[in-house]
A and B are shown apart, each in its own frame.
Chain A
C-alpha cells in the first residue's frame, strides 16, 4: 500500500472516529441523558454480547433469509425481463410502459395490500423486497444489453453462432458490468426494505427487534439492530464487489 492510499484511508476513518467521539462527549458532558442516548461503549458491548444469544442470531437469520430470497428472485426476474426487452421489440413495447408506471410508485405503500393477499408470513415480505429490488436490476440490464456493440453480435453471427446462443455468449457477458451495477443498487434497497417490512409487521427479524426495543424504551437495544443492518449492508456490498471483480476479470476497466 502506498503512502497516498494510506492517507486517504486515514482521512476516511476520521469522520467516523469524530462521530463516535461526539456521541461519547454528548453523554460525558451531560448534554444527553443516557436513557435517551446510550454511550457507544454500551451499544457495542451489547452488540458483542448479543452474538452469543440464540434469539439475536435467529433474528439475523430470519432477516437474511428474506433478504436473499427477495433479492435472488429480483435478480433472476429482472435480468430475464431486461434481456427480453432489449432483444425483442414486441416485449419492449409491453414492458416499457409498465415499468414507467410501476417504477415511480413507492412500493412500501403496496405492503398493506401484500399483507392482505399473501398473509403475515415470509411471502409478503419477500414479495415486497423483490418488487423494490426488481426495477434497478431490470433497467440496468436493459440498458446494458441494448448498448452492446453491434459488431460483437455480427462477428458472432459470422462465426456461425446460433441466435439464441448469442444471447448467452455475447449479450449477457457484455451487459455484465451494467447488470452488476444494478444488482448493487438493488442490494442496498433490499437491506432497507426488508428492515422496514419487519418493522411494520413481524414476529422476528432485525426490524422487529428495533420496534420491540422502541416500545419498551430499551434505547441500547434500539441501536443494536441499526448497527447490525449497516454492517450487513457493508459485508454484502463487499461480497458483491468481490464477485464483480471475479466476474469482470477479463474486462479492460472495472
Chain B
C-alpha cells in the first residue's frame, strides 16, 4: 500500500481524533459542570462496559435491533421487488407509504406500548416499522430500473416468472437494495435508542437518558461515544459486506448518498 493509500484509510481516524480534540478544547474553555472534557468521558467508558448489568443491557439492545432489522429485510425486499415489477402493486402501496413516511416510528411507541406492553415485542415492532420503509423504497427503485431486455431473454430461455424474479431482478437490484439496507441499519440504531428512551425499561437508550436525569454527565457523554462508535462500526462492517456482495457492479464513491 502506498503512503497515499495509508493516509486515505487512516483519514477517518484522524477525523475522530480531531473531533475529540475540538471537544476537549471547547469543554476546557466553557468549563461548566454539565460538559465534561473528552478525556473524562473516555475514562468513564470502561466503567460502563465493565459493569455486567449495563453491558447486558447494551447487548440486549443490539439483539433487538438485529431481530428487527432481519425481519424488516425479509419483509421489505420481496415487497419492494414486486412493487418495481408489477405496476398495480406499486400504485396500491405508494400512497400508503407516502402517508406513513413522515410519521416518526418511535413516536408510535407510546401507543404500541398500550397494546403490547413494554417488552421486547413492541420495541422490535417499532424497529421493524422504522427500517422497512427505506428498504422497500430502494428495492422498488432498484427493481424498476432493471433492464427489460434481460427479462425478455430470461423469459425466452423458459424461465418462469418467480424464477426471473429470483435470478434476474434480485441480483440486478442488489446494489440499490444494499444502499437501502445501509440506510436501514442507521435508522435501526436511531429507532432502537428512541424506543428505549420512551419505554425506559432496559437497553442502551435507557442508560443514556437515565444518567441524564440523574445528572451523571460523564456517563451521558461516555454513552454518546459508545453509541456513536456502534454506528460507525456497524456502518463500516456493512460497507465491507456490501463491497464483497456487489463487487461486479460499478465502483461507487465510498460515501452513501441517502441517510433517510
Beta-carbon contact of A222 and B111 below 8 Å:
yes
- Nearest CB to that of B88 among chain A residues? A11
Q: Is B131 in contact with chain A by the CB < 8 A criterion?
A: no
**Minimum CB–CB distance for A44 against chain B, Å:** 14
Q: Digit string of A176-193 for contact with B (CB within 8 Å is 1, else 0)?
A: 000000000100110111
Q: Is B201 in contact with chain A by the CB < 8 A criterion?
A: no
Beta-carbon contact of A192 and B91 below 8 Å:
no
> Interface size class for chain A?
35 or more
- A226 interface neighbour in B103, B212, B232, Cβ under 8 Å: B103
Q: Which residues of A contact B221 (CB under 8 A)?
A: 113
Beta-carbon contact of B104 and A191 below 8 Å:
yes
Beta-carbon contact of B255 and A100 below 8 Å:
yes
**Given A15-B93, A117-B35, A226-B107: A103 in contact with B260 (beta carbons within 8 A):** no
Beta-carbon contact of B98 and A214 below 8 Å:
no
Beta-carbon contact of B110 and A143 below 8 Å:
no
- A12 interface neighbour in B95, B108, B258, Cβ under 8 Å: B95
Q: Is A136 in contact with chain B by the CB < 8 A criterion?
A: yes
- Nearest CB to that of B95 among chain A residues? A12
Q: Which residues of A contact B67 (CB under 8 A)?
A: none
Q: Is A161 in contact with chain B by the CB < 8 A criterion?
A: no
Beta-carbon contact of B257 and A143 below 8 Å:
yes
- B209 interface neighbour in A112, A225, A230, Cβ under 8 Å: A112
- B208 interface neighbour in A102, A104, A109, A139, Cβ under 8 Å: A109
Q: Which residues of A contact B224 (CB under 8 A)?
A: 109-110, 112-113
Beta-carbon contact of B232 and A105 below 8 Å:
yes
Q: Which residues of A contact B101 (CB under 8 A)?
A: 188, 233
Q: Is A115 in contact with chain B by the CB < 8 A criterion?
A: yes
Interface residues of A in 167-205 (CB under 8 A from B): 185, 188-189, 191-193, 195-196, 199-200
**Given A15-B93, A16-B99, A117-B35: A103 in contact with B111 (beta carbons within 8 A):** no
Beta-carbon contact of A135 and B259 below 8 Å:
yes
Interface residues of B in 233-260 (CB under 8 A from A): 234-235, 253-260
Beta-carbon contact of B197 and A101 below 8 Å:
no
Beta-carbon contact of A192 and B104 below 8 Å:
yes
Distance in angstroms between the alpha carbons of A102 and B33 in the assembled complex: 26
Beta-carbon contact of A115 and B107 below 8 Å:
no
The secondary structure that dominates the A interface is: helix
Q: Is A19 in contact with chain B by the CB < 8 A criterion?
A: yes
Q: Is B124 in contact with chain A by the CB < 8 A criterion?
A: no
Q: Is B190 in contact with chain A by the CB < 8 A criterion?
A: yes
Which of A51-59, A68-76, A91-99 makes up part of the contact surface? A91-99
Task: Kindly name the residue among B16, B88, B104 whose own CB sees the greatest number of chain A CB atoms within 10 A.
Answer: B104
Distance in angstroms between the alpha carbons of A108 and B223 in the assembled complex: 12
Task: Kindly name the residue among A193, A196, A223 whose own CB sees the greatest number of chain B CB atoms within 10 A.
Answer: A196
- Nearest CB to that of B26 among chain A residues? A117
Beta-carbon contact of A104 and B257 below 8 Å:
no
- B91 interface neighbour in A12, A107, A185, Cβ under 8 Å: A12
Q: Is B186 in contact with chain A by the CB < 8 A criterion?
A: yes
- Nearest CB to that of B93 among chain A residues? A15
- Nearest CB to that of A233 among chain B residues? B102
- A11 interface neighbour in B35, B91, B227, B235, Cβ under 8 Å: B91
Can you add 6 more A-B contacts, CB < 8 Å, to A102-B19, A103-B259, A112-B209?
A: A12-B96, A15-B95, A105-B231, A109-B193, A200-B197, A207-B107
**Chain A residues in contact with chain B, CB under 8 A?**
7-9, 11-16, 19, 36-37, 93, 96-110, 112-113, 115-117, 135-136, 139-140, 142-143, 185, 188-189, 191-193, 195-196, 199-200, 207, 210-211, 214, 219, 222-223, 225-226, 229-230, 232-234, 236-237
Enumerate 21 A-B pairs (CB-CB under 8 Å) in ascending A order: A8-B87, A11-B88, A11-B92, A36-B114, A36-B115, A101-B19, A104-B231, A106-B231, A109-B224, A109-B227, A113-B220, A116-B220, A188-B102, A195-B104, A214-B111, A219-B111, A226-B111, A229-B103, A229-B104, A236-B102, A237-B98
**Chain B residues in contact with chain A, CB under 8 A?**
11-12, 14-16, 18-19, 30, 34-35, 87-88, 91-96, 98-108, 110-111, 114-115, 186, 189-190, 193-194, 197-198, 208-209, 212, 217, 220-221, 223-224, 227-228, 231-232, 234-235, 253-260
Can you list the 6 inter-chain pairs with the closest CB atoms, starting with the nearest?
A: A233-B102, A104-B235, A214-B110, A12-B95, A97-B15, A8-B91
